[in-house]
Chain A
Amino acid sequence: MTTTTPTAGAATGTTGGPAVALRDVSKRYAGERGVLALDGISLDAAPGEFVCLVGASGCGKSTLLNLVSGLDRPTSGTVTVQGDPAFMFQEHALFPWLSALDNVAMPLRLDGVGRRERTLRAREHLAAVHLEEFADRRPHELSGGMRQRVALARTLATKAPVLLMDEPFGALDAMTRDLLHDELESIWRERRLTVLFVTHNVREAVRLGDRVVLLTSRPGRVAAQYPVEIARPRRIEDPDVAALAGEITAELRQEVARHGR
């Protein structure tokens, strides 16, 4: 991913400045009356920043992540990312024929790292998500939360500085999700990752983010941004988290109601 075009495209750089920068990005899907998914989005994420994107259906959240990951190209505007970002999906996307360890080792294997070295490193990444004792289990032998942690360990193994997460905890029960918030937060802090985290859950966004970006729907635009100045570690049930989440939710509801008129 090293192409730079003045009007449309994605660029990779390692100099200072934001880890992810979107400049006036629009995306229209093919066809004469193609859907305008994103309309003039400008958004930065500083290195080490945790940015949460919330919005109703049709706000183009997934489109936005695809553009940042390089899986898709913008119709206009520029997307600049430092390094190749790693993607974590709502479904774990683990390879069902490989053990947890071999799944985590896959990016290293694709990178040509030798067996001993990659096993060693994969074990470390598994330990980071506290699953070292389940290294030889296959995905179907693990719970949903454990699979997402293996998937997280696998993205960590790519050494990508930018982590794109598309509702990764959406399908988990509340207790598991709370624990995974803690896990993700501590890994993010230790490794100084830049995270773009898409979610439907406003409380989750406030619990995790340095900043919450509210997107409008059809087309997706930045409606408002909320810096989250609540001290970490936070709990999802903290009153401050609930208060800010309430404020953002009220705004989100207005945006949804606009489509009902």
Chain B
Amino acid sequence: MAVDTEADLRRQELRGLDRLDSTRTRRPLVRRLWDATWPKVAALALALAGWQALAATGWKAEAGFGGPGPVLRELWAALTDEYAGNGLPTVWDAIRVTMTRGVVGFLLATVVGLLLGVAVSQSKILRAAIGSLITGLQTMPSIAWFPLALLLFGIDESAIVFVILIGSVPSIANGVISGVDYVPPLLVRAGRNLGAGRVGLYRHVIVPAALPSIVSGLKQGWAFSWRSLLAGELLVAIANRPSLGQFLQASRETSDTNYMIALMIIVLAIGIVVDVVFNAFDNRLRRRRGVAPQP
């Protein structure tokens, strides 16, 4: 570009500064996947090695505690339905029942938690009335609710769902409340000045600004749901409803330690998979806002 005038020179300077100033780097996908994967694989290998070493010392061998080998064989057998065929429910039936309860309970908790969060963040009176109660409920172990739930609902699905709700609604509501509380006032001002009314302000400023906090509330809500659910399943055995909790309980009764640990691995794995999904969403949100390190 030829430099004719002062104005052209200025424009070139400006463009030069812009290009020097703005950076956009993201490593290639394969590299990112590798960087995210190898530490996990290494950690897993270390954990297995440690477990094997512990089992080799003969620690708690009398209680049936074995190394990763027999447990993983047991896990494989369970997942491939090797024990099916004699009319008994399989581990997949149990996973299905438990997951259904978890998902239904969590979705219900999401609806209730979001509504409650919006209501409390909007109303000074509600906040004064139940703001600290919500946080208080969050600290209460959900298993403490089970005796009451059993009295109220009997040995029934609704007792389990009730406890899931009690356990996870506060986290979800708190996510909304703190998200709304921490919306930068400057953005609200800017939104108003750009012509946003009450609804527009919510839709285009407050909700998107609060979204990361809402998502982390949901993530925590899921964790509480899952915990409450497994605790509940240990206590509440419903006929013809095989669940992971019931399977765990049964393996204790039969002193089948390897099978029990295999079941625990399944419970952990489900928790991790759901967490990975939430994290992927959360990271994307944060990356778009420039508050997450580039993975």
Contacts and interface: CB of A to CB of B under 8 A. Distances in A.
A138 B288 contact: yes
Contacts of B208: 95, 97-98
Interface in A118-140: 130-131, 134, 137-140
Interface in A45-98: 69, 71, 84, 86-87, 89, 91, 93-98
Nearest to B15: A130
A231 interface: no
Contact of B193 (A86, A97, A131): A86
B291 to A, nearest CB: 8
A32 to B, nearest CB: 25
B22 interface: yes
A88 to B, nearest CB: 9
B136 interface: no
Contacts of B205: 95
Interface size class of B (residues with CB under 8 A): 35 or more
Interface in B188-235: 189-197, 200, 204-205, 208-209, 211
Interface string B270-295: 00000000000000010011110000
A146 B211 CA distance: 26
Q: Which of B192, B211, B291 has the most CB of A within 10 A?
A: B192
A8 to B, nearest CB: 21
Interface stretch (A15-23, A174-182, A211-219): A174-182
A111 B191 CA distance: 12
A89 B190 contact: yes
B22 A87 contact: no
Nearest to A182: B10
A111 B193 contact: no
B204 A106 contact: yes
A176 to B, nearest CB: 6
A154 interface: yes
B14 A96 contact: no
A133 B111 CA distance: 42
Contact of B17 (A71, A107, A158, A175): A175
Contacts of B288: 96-97, 138
Contacts of B291: 96, 140
B38 to A, nearest CB: 28
A121 to B, nearest CB: 14
Q: Which of B13, B18, B194, B285 has the most CB of A within 10 A?
A: B194
Given A95-B205, A130-B11, A179-B14, A71 B192 contact: yes
B194 A179 contact: no
Contacts of B196: 110
A110 B194 contact: yes
Contacts of A94: 190
Interface in B1-60: 6-7, 10-11, 13-15, 17-18, 21-24
Contacts of A142: 21-22
B238 interface: no
Contacts of A91: 186
A141 interface: yes
A134 B19 CA distance: 10
B129 interface: no
B187 interface: yes
Contacts of B11: 130
Given A93-B189, A158-B194, A179 B22 contact: no
B200 A110 contact: yes
Nearest to B212: A97
A86 B189 CA distance: 11
Nearest to B190: A93
A109 B14 CA distance: 29
A2 interface: no
Given A138-B288, A139-B290, A179 B189 contact: no
A140 B289 contact: yes
Contacts of B189: 71, 87, 89, 93
Contacts of A145: 17, 21
B186 A146 contact: no
A89 B186 contact: yes
A66 to B, nearest CB: 10
Contacts of A89: 186, 189-190
Nearest to A144: B21
25 contacts: A71-B189, A71-B192, A71-B193, A86-B194, A87-B189, A89-B186, A97-B209, A97-B288, A107-B195, A110-B191, A130-B11, A130-B18, A131-B18, A140-B289, A141-B24, A141-B290, A142-B22, A143-B17, A143-B18, A145-B21, A158-B194, A175-B13, A175-B17, A179-B17, A233-B6
Given A93-B187, A96-B288, A130-B15, 8 more contacts: A95-B187, A97-B285, A106-B191, A107-B194, A109-B204, A110-B191, A110-B204, A179-B14
Sorted nearest first, the 7 A-B pairs with minimum C-beta distance are A140-B290, A143-B21, A93-B190, A96-B289, A107-B194, A87-B193, A110-B195
